[in-house]
Each structure stands twice: as structure tokens, then as C-alpha cells.
């Protein structure tokens, strides 16, 4: 299941993402997932940034509460447990490998970058390296695509269905246009 291409993000959406990140957003080609209030949660990022830098992380988790939740999970050493699932369960490993291929296909719609060919994010297809990237992919692709990302979201204290924005009054339900 490939999702892109996305609508071009508005200036207001880029401003929200920049505020979420605490720096200027770079290479955003679309909003891949949103919070319940409409604010961006995951952005789709060009595989090559404007300055020429290759950027393999196509789905980038931006929502501050979501990133804190994933950092908390990482700090509780859940990654080795999830990695163990890849070794112990052939079905989970096969689904994770398919998630890797789907990620690459989604990103390829925005150009091929030889320096990152075959590299997705989060350790896919054989390791669990970054829950932020895996959760971002799971949110963008929807449930059932990335099993490790889905599990991370299930175990986290954050949910895209419950607004936790610092300024929910500034919601972008109308895309900020």
C-alpha cells in the first residue's frame, strides 16, 4: 500500500512543523499523518534535501508528545524486546521486511538517491534501531503495515486520536489556508 504523493504543505503547516521541531523544517513534501486536531504528526521528507544532502528518513515524526512517548519507550529498553520478536517470529519478521519495501516504494515516488538506495529507517528490515522512525511509518501507512511501529504506538502513552498539542487552538483542520 503506497500513500504518496501528498498535497503540497501550506506555509501554515510548515510553520507548525518548524515549531514542533524547534528548527526550520527541511525538505517537507507532505503531511503524512495528523493529530486529532489536524496538526501535523508525521511529515514526508524529500529523499534529497535542498542542500543536496541525502535524507533516508522519509516519514519523520514531528509531534512533540509523540516523540517524547517514543523516547520514553526507548529509555525503558523496549527495543531489544521488539528486536527479539523479529528473531523469534517469522511472521513478524516477514511483515517487517514488507514494511521496509513499502517504505522504500513510498520514498521512491519522490526520487531515487543512490547514496541511500535500499536504506529505509528505524533499522528495517532486520533491526529495531529507532522507534521514532518506525512509529512515524506506522502512523503514515496505517495499522497493519509496520508491525514494530504498530507495537510501539500501542505501548506508548501518546495517541493521535487524543490531542496533546501545546496549542490546540491553533489547529490546522482546514490546512491553514
Distance CA 171, CA 169 (A): 5
Query: Mind listing the pLDDT tens digit of every residue in the chain (177 residues)?
Result: 557 778 889 999 999 999 999 999 999 999 999 999 999 999 999 999 999 999 999 999 999 999 999 999 999 989 999 999 999 999 999 999 999 999 999 999 999 999 999 999 999 999 999 999 999 999 999 999 999 999 999 999 999 888 888 764 455 544 444
pLDDT for res 6: 85
Residues 6+ apart with CB under 8 A from 66: 41, 135, 139, 156, 158, 160
Distance CA 26, CA 177 (A): 20
pLDDT for res 175: 44
Cell matching residue 70 = 517514543
Instruction: Kindly report the pTM of this predicted structure.
Output: 0.92
Q: Which candidate, 84, 91, 171, 74, places its Cα nearest to that of 132?
A: 74
Distance CA 28, CA 140 (A): 14
Do residues 59 and 138 make contact, with C-beta atoms less than 8 angstroms apart?
no
Residues 6+ apart with CB under 8 A from 154: none
pLDDT for res 163: 87
Amino acid at each position: 500500500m503506497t500513500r504518496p504523493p501528498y498535497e503540497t504543505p501550506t506555509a501554515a503547516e510548515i510553520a507548525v512543523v518548524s515549531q514542533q521541531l524547534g528548527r526550520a523544517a527541511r525538505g517537507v513534501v507532505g503531511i503524512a499523518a495528523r493529530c486529532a486536531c489536524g496538526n501535523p504528526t508525521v511529515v514526508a521528507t524529500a529523499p534529497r534535501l535542498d542542500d543536496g544532502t541525502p535524507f533516508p528518513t522519509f516519514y519523520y515524526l514531528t509531534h512533540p508528545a509523540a516523540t517524547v512517548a517514543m523516547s520514553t519507550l526507548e529509555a525503558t529498553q523496549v527495543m531489544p524486546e521488539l528486536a527479539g520478536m523479529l528473531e523469534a517470529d517469522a511472521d513478524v519478521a516477514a511483515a517487517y521486511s514488507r514494511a521496509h519495501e513499502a517504505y522504500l516504494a513510498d520514498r521512491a515516488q519522490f526520487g531515487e538517491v543512490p547514496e541511500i538506495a535500499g536504506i529505509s529507517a528505524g533499522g528495517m528490515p532486520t533491526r529495531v534501531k529507532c522507534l521514532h522512525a518506525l512509529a512515524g511509518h506506522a502512523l503514515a501507512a496505517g495499522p497493519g503495515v509496520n508491525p514494530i511501529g504498530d507495537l510501539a504506538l500501542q505501548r506508548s502513552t501518546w495517541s493521535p486520536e487524543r490531542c496533546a498539542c501545546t496549542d490546540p487552538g491553533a489547529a490546522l483542520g482546514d490546512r491553514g489556508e
